[in-house]
Homo-oligomer: A and B are copies of this chain.
Amino acid sequence: MELDGRKLRILHAIIDEYILSAAPVGSKTLSGMSDLGVSSATIRNEMAWLEELGYLLSPHTSAGRVPSEKAYRLYVDSMLGRSRLTAAELALLKNYCKMRVHGIEDVMKETARALSELTQYAAVVLLPETAGNRLRHVQLVPLATGSALLITVTDAGTAHSAVIRIPEDMDTEELEGISRLITRRYADCTLHTVAERMVVELGETLKKRRGFLTSLLRAMERSTAPGAHLVEMSGATKLLQYPEYRDAARAKNFLALTEDKRELYALLKRAGEMEFTIRIGAENDADALSGCSVVTAGYRLGGLQGAIGVIGPTRMPYGKVLTVLEYMRAGLGEVLTHFITEEK
């Protein structure tokens, strides 16, 4: 059942070669290029074993062998060698770290772009969650009669806005007063606490506006709720350059992820709690990701918690991708410093 050293070395060589060439690898090429020191016939015997054990697949009788998902799993679990970045890649990363920070959305977009550029795969970034976060500021700005813009700022450094209906007789002064009241009273409370207390507590002082407060709270919860807008994706079309996405149906299947990000959100949400995750092929339960691998790195900074990740074919230089993610996470940390509210 166990794989002896030579079988492992052969499997390793096959995976490395296949990641490079995307073509089934045969016994002859293998004996020729790697330093295994055995003939092609021996390798053939071992390959037959490896296929028996489920680590290799033959597309057909006389093609070479292709690593199975089980093989990749073994590869990342035990055979993974970290890799170094080239000077060009380091330069790109350095450049990224020096970017001018405008808003957190820009940071996410830039991060996704850079990550995709570095890996040449699709990159995804999960914005820091706001659920457990604290309120910083609330502002109501009148728009038309009967409607106003509600802006909620959390300590994640993000502003969320929503249009809400307001009573017709509510003027600018009153809106300003309510804004100030909420901000004063609940600054630095978690959103959860605000949701629990606000209507009850302020409802007493503002008896007449109780109904309004309720709808205000609903709008606040809705606009700060984690959702699709928290996911940034970049470079999805880069995958079209790889042979595994030549098939139009499969490409379309994958690209559907770009249109509806809820699936991605669910994916990254879980991954955000881990240092690293590598999900290979069918290990992703999303249909659109069949035949894809997803590698993610979670980050946590102050109260912020999010994740960055890369999506590509299962044939992926996992070591390299992990290294890039590691560097990228560090870079993101640097960039995000400005956004984090001081710990008290």
Chain A residues close to B by CB (< 8 Å): 101-105, 136-137, 139, 141-147, 149, 151, 153, 155, 157-159, 161-163, 165, 219, 222-223, 229, 234-237, 240-241, 246, 248, 251-252, 255-256, 258-259, 337-342
Are A104's CB and B163's CB within 8 A?
yes
Which 5 A-B residue pairings sit nearest by Cβ, starting from the closest? A159-B161, A137-B141, A237-B255, A147-B338, A240-B252
Show 9 residue pairs from A and B whose CB-CB distance is below 8 angstroms, ordered by the A residue.
A101-B163, A102-B163, A136-B143, A147-B338, A147-B339, A151-B153, A163-B339, A165-B338, A237-B252
Once the chains are docked, how many angstroms separate the CA of A145 from the CA of B343? 11
Complex contacts, A342 vs chain B, CB 8 Å: 144-145
Are B251's CB and A240's CB within 8 A?
yes
Tell me the minimal C-beta distance from A202 to chain B in angstroms: 20
Tell me the minimal C-beta distance from A33 to chain B in angstroms: 30
Contacts A252-B237, A342-B144; is A157 near B163 (CB within 8 Å)? yes
Q: A237-B259, A240-B252 are in contact. List 10 more A-B contacts (CB 8 A).
A: A102-B163, A102-B219, A102-B223, A143-B155, A143-B341, A149-B157, A163-B339, A236-B255, A237-B252, A246-B248
Complex contacts, A153 vs chain B, CB 8 Å: 141, 149, 151
Once the chains are docked, how many angstroms separate the CA of A162 from the CA of B145? 28
Complex contacts, A252 vs chain B, CB 8 Å: 237, 240-241
Tell me the minimal C-beta distance from A341 to chain B in angstroms: 5
Once the chains are docked, how many angstroms separate the CA of A117 from the CA of B211? 37
Listed residue (A153, A161, A236, A248) with the most chain B CB atoms within 10 angstroms of its CB: A161
What copy number does this chain have within its complex? Answer: 2
Complex contacts, A149 vs chain B, CB 8 Å: 136, 153, 157, 159
Tell me the minimal C-beta distance from A173 to chain B in angstroms: 12
Tell me the minimal C-beta distance from A189 to chain B in angstroms: 15
Once the chains are docked, how many angstroms separate the CA of A136 from the CA of B159? 16
Complex contacts, A163 vs chain B, CB 8 Å: 101-104, 157, 338-339
Are A340's CB and B144's CB within 8 A?
yes
Once the chains are docked, how many angstroms separate the CA of A153 from the CA of B162? 12
Once the chains are docked, how many angstroms separate the CA of A240 from the CA of B254? 12
Complex contacts, A237 vs chain B, CB 8 Å: 252, 255-256, 258-259
Tell me the minimal C-beta distance from A134 to chain B in angstroms: 12
Are B162's CB and A338's CB within 8 A?
no
Are B258's CB and A339's CB within 8 A?
no
Once the chains are docked, how many angstroms separate the CA of A246 from the CA of B240? 13
Complex contacts, A158 vs chain B, CB 8 Å: 161
Closest B residue, CB atoms, query A180: B176
Complex contacts, A234 vs chain B, CB 8 Å: 259
Contacts A163-B103, A237-B259, A240-B255; is A339 near B151 (CB within 8 Å)? no
Are A151's CB and B162's CB within 8 A?
no
Are B139's CB and A102's CB within 8 A?
no
Once the chains are docked, how many angstroms separate the CA of A306 from the CA of B229? 22
Tell me the minimal C-beta distance from A127 to chain B in angstroms: 14
Complex contacts, A248 vs chain B, CB 8 Å: 240, 246, 248, 251
Complex contacts, A101 vs chain B, CB 8 Å: 163
Are B144's CB and A136's CB within 8 A?
no
